[in-house]
Amino acid sequence: MWVIDQLFDGLVELDENLELRPLVAEHFQLDSTGRVWTFQLRDDVFFHANEAVPGLAKGRRCLAEDVVYSLNRLRDPRVASSGAWILDAVDADMPGKGVLALGDDTVQITLKSPFPPFLGLLSTAYANIVPWEAVEHFGTDFRSHPVGTGPFRLAWWMEDVACVLHRNPMHWEQDENGQSLPYLDAVHISFASDMGAEFQGLMQGRFDFMSGLHPAYMNELLDETGGLNPTYEASLRLETVPFLKTDYIGFYTDSSADDEWLPWQDASVRRALSAAIDRHSIAQNLRRGAVMPSASFVPPVLLGQAHAEAPRQRLDWALAVLDSVRAVHPEPWQPFRISTTSDYTDLCSALQYQWGTLGIEVEVDVVSAAAHRDRVATGKAALFRKSWLADYPDAENFLALFHSKNFAPSGPNYTHFSDDQFDALFASAMAVTDQRERREMYRKLNEAIGRSMPVVPLFHDQVNHFVRKEVKGWKVSPVNRLDLREVRKGEMP
């Protein structure tokens, strides 16, 4: 996705403050019905020059028909795009509806019904604009010969080794002083064999930035408060921002075929397990304070709140709840088995210990990433560690995980949670265009998840970028997009 962001543009983009702003579209508007979006395109956006493609030898202007082609291409069964879902709300079946070009400069998109998050969907990489003749010319090899309108163009690529991007001299954007963007002449990307090689490359100065924290070097790079280890302050700086991501333990809530009572399918038991977790200890001791402990599934910024509510451990209350459940369902209970991957063994072991103080028998089942994905998607994992990362800045992206129409494996509702009242309120929220009113509905939906507890939220992550000191103009995005347009290095003008 980081490379794609340098090569292509969409109609709109998401800035570092989670605000949607025009990009290839100079401006946009939504009609009074909440269903018809109209985008007026800029007249100075040009595709990369490509001498192999007739019509693109010197580049050409990006037109409305390119937008229509690019979005409709997502639905083409021959392409089998994993991003086709971003157009689910579009009214594509009615004549004169769907995605239309109104001349060279105007695009109109009609939705089946109001869907407030739709503009955010157009900020994803799936909605980037491509020139039809380049796609038709290269066919399935377009991936190796990408042509877009982005600030950089592909100069060289050897798969699994390295790739080089060169500055796009035709790029339309300028800074506030009228200087053309991007500033950098080139970007070199290496494909590190593992996280350790990436870390060593950063330490040796071969890489200018690294994203994320791996347990193998987390304690080396961070101090006890989650800040940069003073040892590296001379050469590195740590850029952080709250991530639109939630780590959680999920429970498969579908009842068994023989109606056997299973403790993790009891909402009271799940609430007790949540109350018994010392999230602050986990954040401090396992993540060096680099995460935000939370009992809320939706990140606070998407609910109009600055910070997540700091949950406190309530062991006595949890024990009292479990005692009342045991009075109705005497032990022995089936053991709680958490499916996870090797990267999260420490987290699951901590939960195993903390839940053990409640008299709960917990087993940690460490499997490969592929096996874990299959178990979670097919309902073969009673408990599972997972995380959810937003594709676009709307709480709907998190809350849709609990709508009954989204049962896995065809959707992301891995818990198979189902509640008619939740579904009805969710539908009402999608029909509301007023952001304040919709956020209030989102808060109620998030509270409903907190009561039923099909998942136990643990913490919200943060984006961690380790950047070398000579790199200036770095921006950090809450969805971890990479923006190199205004990045400078060293003493470059």
Strands 209-211 and 236-251: unpaired
pLDDT band at 257 (very low <50, low <70, confident <90, very high): low
Could you check whether the bond before residue 457 is cis, i.e. omega within 30 degrees of 0? Answer: no
Residue 232: per-residue pLDDT: 93
For 272, half-sphere exposure in the C-beta direction (CA atoms, 13 angstrom radius) is 24
Residue 300 in domain: yes
Of the three residues 149, 171, 192, the one that is the final residue of a domain is 149
Count the Cβ atoms, other than its own, within 10 Å of residue 204. Answer: 8
Strands 336-340 and 12-14: unpaired
For the stretch 159-194, pLDDT in tens is 989 999 999 999 999 999 999 999 999 999 998 877
Residue 412 in domain: yes
Residue 256: per-residue pLDDT: 60
- In the chain, how many domains are there? 2
The domain of 349 spans 243-462
Contact predicate 131/56, CB 8 Å: yes
Residue 140 in domain: yes
Q: What is the CATH number of the domain that holds 410?
A: 3.10.105.10
Count the Cβ atoms, other than its own, within 10 Å of residue 407. Answer: 17
Of the three residues 121, 149, 177, the one that is the final residue of a domain is 149
Say if residue 17 is exposed, middle or buried (CB neighbours under 10 Å; 0-12, 13-18, 19+): exposed
* Residues facing residue 463 across a β-bridge: 241
Of the three residues 90, 124, 149, the one that is the final residue of a domain is 149
pLDDT at 345 over 60: yes
Q: Do 454 and 342 fall into the same domain?
A: yes
Q: 3-state class of 281 per DSSP?
A: helix
Residue 238 in domain: no
Q: Do 320 and 424 fall into the same domain?
A: yes
For the stretch 292-324, pLDDT in tens is 999 999 998 898 887 767 789 999 999 999 999
Q: Do 316 and 458 fall into the same domain?
A: yes
Percent of the chain scored above 70 by pLDDT? Answer: 99
Q: What is the CATH number of the domain that holds 127?
A: 3.90.76.10
pTM comes to 0.85
Q: Do 254 and 110 fall into the same domain?
A: no
Distance of CA 95 to the CA centre of its chain: 34
pLDDT at 491 over 80: no
Separation of first and last alpha carbons in the chain: 28
Distance of CA 362 to the CA centre of its chain: 30
Residue 432 in domain: yes
Q: Do 135 and 248 fall into the same domain?
A: no
Q: Do 142 and 254 fall into the same domain?
A: no
Q: Do 144 and 247 fall into the same domain?
A: no
Residue 234 in domain: no
DSSP code, position 427: H
Q: Do 305 and 407 fall into the same domain?
A: yes
Residue 390 in domain: yes
Residue 272 in domain: yes
